[in-house]
Structure 1
Amino acid sequence: MGEIKVHEFITIDGVFEDPSWTVEWWPWDPKMEEAVGALTASASDILLGRRTFEMFAPAWSTRTAEDDPGAPFFNDTPKHVVTSGELAVDWNNSTALGTYDPESIRSLKDRTEGSIYISGSGQLVRALLADGLVDELHLFVYPIALGKGQRLWGEDGEAARLALKSSEAYTNGIVHLCYGPAAAPRQA
């Protein structure tokens, strides 16, 4: 059975959209590169929301290993896209899953051998967290507050109870926090 492992670049005020603000921190600390590499190395599948898929496809589909060492992972790995329609963009090994359905995601987890990697896809990630389907949430927290932009947790979202599994600080000021599901709170 596969595990869902989410990877997000996020600011200290929770913004995750359009991570062009991460450029200031390039090149990455080598330990950070190892951490992201470990996430993709353990993954046998990718799960994305439609909008993230439509942003990733043109960005990754033409890259080669010479352009970016992550290109083979993104281009060769089976991709499952939560979308209400057909895939508007053609990208190798991509399949439309239909609209979000927790049972469909559980079925995907059941038939997956490795982990299922997610990046971006905020609406999908929020739904997965609400349904208890995220096994690991990897937040790479950048030392910047943008004050505006789409946040991973919106103001009208449900609470998500998480437990810290590990943390690592990098020389560039970025912190990697890995969370998993928390046990239900004790009733008094």
Structure 2
Amino acid sequence: MGTIDVHEFISLDGVVEEPSWTADYGFPEAMGEAIGKLCDQAILLGRNTYEMFYPAWSARGHDAESGGAFFNGAPKHVVTSTLDGPLEWENSTVLGPYAPERIRALKESVDGGIYVSGSVALVRALLADGLVDTLNLFVFPVVLGSGLTLFAEGQRVPLRLIESEPYGNGVVRMTYGPAT
């Protein structure tokens, strides 16, 4: 059975929206290695993130150094109620609207990790349904003051810290798992 491994760039005040603000901090090799460890078997995306990732990643080809080999070669499963197949990005399929049983079936169909990045509405639902195995928050040392936050108001998600790793640019990766 596979695992669902979420990766998010997040500000100190919880903002994950349009992470172009992260560019000011650079991207140390150790951060890339940590993200690379999450890129294992498959990719799970919400529609909005799929529509942002497709043009960005498909243009990179299958170069291993840039991450293109994983992002273009891996099976991609898109949770959406508005798109239908076939999708343009290679190895992409429509999983359909969010349904916990579909996600559980996907987890059972793979042997490795299922990578999730961005996809805030999807991640919120996965967390609420107890389907996230690791939540990898790359916390940037900035308060943005406004923007879409990872957790909805009133959403309670008990977690336990599994690991943390600081980087020279001030970012700290905190990896959480379910509290139980």
- TM-score over 0.5 for the alignment? yes
Please state whether the residue corresponding to 1:4 is helix, strand or coil: strand
Stretches of structure 2 that go unaligned for 5 or more consecutive residues are none
Corresponding position of 2:29 = 30
Aligned 8 A contact 1:45 1:79 in 2: yes
Superposed CA RMSD in Å reads 1.5
Aligned 8 A contact 2:5 2:115 in 1: yes
Corresponding position of 1:50 = 47
Please state whether the residue corresponding to 1:56 is helix, strand or coil: helix
After superposition, the C-alpha distances for 1:143-164 in whole angstroms (9 at most, x for unaligned) are 0111011000122x42000000
Give the Cα separation in 2 of the matches to 1:144 and 1:99: 34
Listed as ranges, the matches of 1:37-76 within 5 Å are 37-40=36-39, 43-65=40-62, 69-76=66-73
Please state whether the residue corresponding to 1:128 is helix, strand or coil: helix
Aligned-partner residue type, residue 35 of structure 1:
A
Aligned-partner residue type, residue 105 of structure 1:
I
Give the Cα separation in 1 of the matches to 2:75 and 2:110: 11
Listed as ranges, the matches of 1:144-159 within 5 Å are 144-155=142-153, 157-159=154-156
State the shift of 1:64 in Å: 2.9
Give the Cα separation in 1 of the matches to 2:73 and 2:49: 17
Corresponding position of 1:21 = 21
State the shift of 1:88 in Å: 8.7
Give the Cα separation in 2 of the matches to 1:135 and 1:38: 14
Q: Residue 83 in 1 paired to residue 74 in 2?
A: no
Q: 2:170 aligns with which of 166, 169, 173?
A: 173
Listed as ranges, the matches of 1:127-166 within 5 Å are 127-155=125-153, 157-166=154-163
State the shift of 1:98 in Å: 0.7
Please state whether the residue corresponding to 1:58 is helix, strand or coil: helix
Corresponding position of 1:96 = 94
After superposition, the C-alpha distances for 1:120-145 in whole angstroms (9 at most, x for unaligned) are 00000000000000000000000011
Please state whether the residue corresponding to 2:41 is helix, strand or coil: strand
Give the Cα separation in 2 of the matches to 1:153 and 1:87: 30
Corresponding position of 2:112 = 114
Give the Cα separation in 1 of the matches to 2:63 and 2:30: 21
TM-score (ref. length: structure 1): 0.91
Give the Cα separation in 2 of the matches to 1:134 and 1:120: 14
After superposition, the C-alpha distances for 1:13-59 in whole angstroms (9 at most, x for unaligned) are 10101100011112x2222121111111xx21100001100111111
Aligned 8 A contact 1:57 1:89 in 2: no
Structure 1 segments, 4+ long, off by >4 Å, are 65-68
Aligned 8 A contact 2:87 2:94 in 1: no
Give the Cα separation in 1 of the matches to 2:29 and 2:81: 39
Corresponding position of 2:12 = 12
Give the Cα separation in 1 of the matches to 2:30 and 2:45: 26
